[in-house]
């Protein structure tokens, strides 16, 4: 294969993992030849990216892309999270993803209670549709890129006003670590340690966010953390084949994936064809190096709808890709222009 053809092939693969435009991926590969094809973050940078992945993914809303992230833009010293334009909770009710992100990420204190949001997270700048974030006192940097026309300064002022009117203290402009954050870090030291232990996993998944859409047949992706496990639930409609092995192969790919190994599995795929209308296969994955802490649990669920009967309408209202919808939520046969299948949510 000619050098140009190989570069294009690598760029297409990277794009399917990261969600970058193919041309952007090609330029990154061309400019940083000594880096891995898809570089990973380390240290405080990984912690920052992991916290963003955690907070954006746990809201239980509806998005055009899993957890509301359309893709990443990755280069040395630069990590850009491209947000969906909107998040929605039901047809006809949607709101800017930028609002959702600020509500989940920016730290604020409830005096005498706790700090909400990502502790030590600070807004370091605003440039057009880009909100620049960092963990105070570190070299970590991350950009949230909103949809065209996003007015971050206006949204930040609104968020501050709403919190202060409720007797809460915004912390995202503080120059130092606050006493509220230090107190919480002492009181919830085990949770802080778990977050640090899982940083390699959360950051690695954020940088490969597009795998949940490109390599999975799931119409719904949700995540949360319990103990030292980062749990993902992926729901596939019963009219669509469930091929979890193909997804896991991509996730654990030696070149493009994460350094994971399957440590336990409970597979119910044998129930297909027995008349059962649903089942779940659960896989536990850990780092290939046994000394690295943290577990990823993935639940692949297949069957009848569980999250509502109008999800395709909801996702179309949020401008989800039509080819993807046709793949994971096919319309009833014989009714190409009819109503959507009755199924659950892509979150």
Please state the length of the chain: 347
Residue 22, pLDDT > 50, answer yes
Q: What integer pLDDT is reported at residue 341 of this predicted model?
A: 36
In angstroms, the Cα distances linking 224 to 32, 168, 247, 248, 271 are: 34, 26, 19, 19, 27
Mean pLDDT (whole number) for 189-209: 97
* Structure-token pair, residue 74: 């990755």
Per-residue pLDDT at 342:
31
Tell me the C-alpha distance between 218 and 180, whole Å.
40
Count CB atoms within 10 A of the CB of residue 133.
Answer: 25
> What does the alpha-carbon distance between residue 2 and residue 4 come to, in Å, rounded to a whole number?
5
* Overall average pLDDT of the 204-232 stretch: 94
In this structure, are strands 78-83 and 142-145 parallel, antiparallel, or unpaired? parallel
* pLDDT, tens digit (0-9, with 9 covering 90-100), for 89-140: 766 678 899 999 999 999 999 998 999 999 999 999 999 999 999 999 999 9
Using CA atoms, how far apart are residues 318 and 85, in angstroms rounded to an integer?
8
pLDDT of 211 higher than 80: yes
**Chain segment 53-100, per-residue pLDDT in tens:** 999 988 667 889 988 999 999 988 889 999 999 988 766 678 899 999
pLDDT band at 304 (very low <50, low <70, confident <90, very high): confident
Give the pLDDT score at 210.
97
Mean pLDDT of the chain: 90
Q: Is 87 helix (H, G, I), strand (E, B) or coil?
A: strand
For residue 197, pLDDT over 90 is answered with: yes
The whole model's pTM is what? Answer: 0.92
CA 59, 62, 66, 71 dihedral sign is negative
């Amino acid at each position: 294969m000619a050098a140009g053809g190989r570069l294009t092939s690598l760029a297409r693969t990277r794009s399917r993992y990261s969600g970058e435009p193919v041309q952007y991926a090609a330029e990154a590969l061309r400019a940083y030849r000594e880096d891995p094809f898809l570089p990973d973050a380390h240290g405080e940078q990984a912690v920052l990216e992991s916290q963003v992945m955690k907070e954006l993914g746990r809201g239980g809303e509806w998005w055009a892309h899993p957890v509301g992230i359309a893709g990443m833009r990755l280069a040395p010293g630069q990590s850009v999270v491209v947000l969906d334009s909107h998040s929605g909770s039901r047809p006809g009710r949607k709101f800017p993803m930028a609002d959702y992100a600020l509500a989940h990420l920016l730290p604020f204190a409830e005096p005498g209670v706790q700090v909400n949001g990502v502790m030590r997270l600070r807004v370091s700048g605003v440039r057009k549709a880009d909100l620049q974030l960092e963990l105070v006192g570190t070299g970590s940097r991350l950009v949230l890129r909103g949809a065209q026309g996003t007015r971050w300064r206006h949204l930040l002022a609104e968020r501050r006003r709403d919190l202060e009117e409720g007797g809460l203290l915004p912390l995202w402009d503080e120059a130092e670590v606050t006493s509220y954050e230090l107190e919480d870090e002492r009181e919830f030291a085990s949770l802080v340690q778990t977050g640090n232990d899982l940083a390699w996993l959360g950051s690695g998944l954020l940088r490969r966010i597009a795998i949940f859409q490109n390599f999975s047949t799931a119409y719904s992706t949700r995540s949360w953390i319990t103990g030292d496990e980062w749990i993902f639930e992926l729901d596939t409609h019963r009219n669509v084949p469930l091929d979890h092995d193909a997804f896991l192969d991509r996730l654990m790919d030696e070149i493009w994936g994460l350094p994971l190994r399957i440590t336990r599995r409970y597979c119910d795929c044998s129930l297909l064809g027995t008349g059962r209308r649903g089942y779940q296969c659960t896989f536990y994955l850990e780092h290939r190096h046994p000394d690295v802490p943290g577990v990823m649990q993935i639940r692949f669920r297949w069957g009848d709808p569980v999250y509502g009967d109008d999800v395709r309408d909801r996702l179309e209202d949020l401008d989800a890709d039509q080819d993807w919808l046709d793949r994971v939520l096919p319309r009833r046969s014989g009714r190409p222009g009819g109503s959507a299948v009755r199924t659950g949510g892509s979150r």
